[in-house]
Amino acid sequence: MTLLELKDVSVHYGRIQAIHDMSFTVEEGEIVSLIGANGAGKSTTMKTISGLLNPSHGSITFDGEDITKVKAHLRVVKGISQSPEGRGIFPGMTVMENLDMGAFGRADRSGMAADFDRVFDLFPRLAERKTQLGGTMSGGEQQMLAIGRALMSAPRLLLLDEPSMGLAPQFIKQIFKIITEINAQGTTVLLVEQNANQALARANRGFVLETGAITHQGTGKELLANPAIKEAYLGVG
Ligand code: ATP
């Protein structure tokens, strides 16, 4: 079943067009990776899906409903949650308070308790640091907190913007393992990554973005084996 569909989406910053007539789908249950160089439009695409930016043209459909004009906070209620680039946790709030913010607007107490358990199972480090201020956590821990917070709205579609950015190699491995686990638990994932090798290895399908348009698409395996993509994005000739 198609969970998300972008159709001919264009996005402008003032007079600058960052996304050009982009169309793609994300099927329920998939991990889909978006890769591309700096400035290709990856974050812009994610913000347009979460509703932080409005397309100048085209439509976005989620679970069969046109959400192009739906405000960002209502998209969260419908099941779209974003862990933003640069993490964006609340530095002056504790780990628990940060997670609580992710559950903003929820009233189903038993469901929330189950999601706290889910987050603490995925990230035992957060369970050990419930009262620590977010701003004093390490980079890797803040990344875990940002993903945990996004999960607290019980999303059907989790948008992850550069989850491995700035992390040490052992943390990068761990984050990708956890993303696979989150997906195995039933959450559909759209992943933006500079770390193209790992992102495509973990993905059902991938898209390559160049200057605001999709230039290649295929299964993760197909893209990993494509010589042009190897040369441009995977660090091998
Ligand atoms: P990176 O990997 O470097 O984060 P990206 O693929 O996520 O890059 P975007 O951040 O989506 O790229 O940027 C796409 C284009 O839109 C770039 O040319 C960028 O300079 C431009 N852009 C992004 N945000 C703004 C803004 N607020 N105002 C004007 N232009 C912007």
User: Ligand 1 centre and the CA of 21: distance in Å?
Assistant: 16
Average pLDDT, the chain: 93
Quickly list DSSP for 30-52.
-EEEEEE-TTSSHHHHHHHHHTS
CA distance 212 to 17: 8
Q: How much of the chain, in percent, has pLDDT values that exceed 70? A: 99
pLDDT for 80 equals 97
Ligand 1: which residue has its CA nearest to atom 27? 13
Res. 237: pLDDT tops 60: no
Q: What is the per-residue burial (b if ≥16 Cβ within 10 Å, else e) of 29-39?
A: ebbbbbbbeee
- Nearest of 71, 89, 98, 73 to residue 152 by alpha carbon: 98
The verdict on the CB of residue 18 being under 6 Å from ligand 1 is: yes
Q: Report which ligand 1 atom has the smallest distance to the Cα of 44.
A: 11
Give the integer Cα–Cα distance in Å for 199 and 214.
Answer: 17
Question: What does the pLDDT look like over 118-165, one tens digit per residue?
Answer: 999 999 999 999 999 999 999 889 999 999 999 999 999 999 999 988
Q: Give the closest residue (by CA) to ligand 1 atom 14.
A: 41
Query: For the chain, which residues make up each domain, given as ranges?
Result: 80-154
- pLDDT, tens digit, 9 for 90 and up, residues 24-45: 999 999 999 999 988 999 999 9
Torsion of CA 100, 103, 109, 111, to 10 degrees: -120
Residue minimizing CA distance to atom 29 of ligand 1: 13
pLDDT at 92 over 80: yes
Q: Find the angle CA(176)-CA(179)-CA(180) to the nearest 5 degrees.
A: 90
Pocket test for ligand 1, best of 16, 34, 48 (most atoms within 8 A of CB): 16
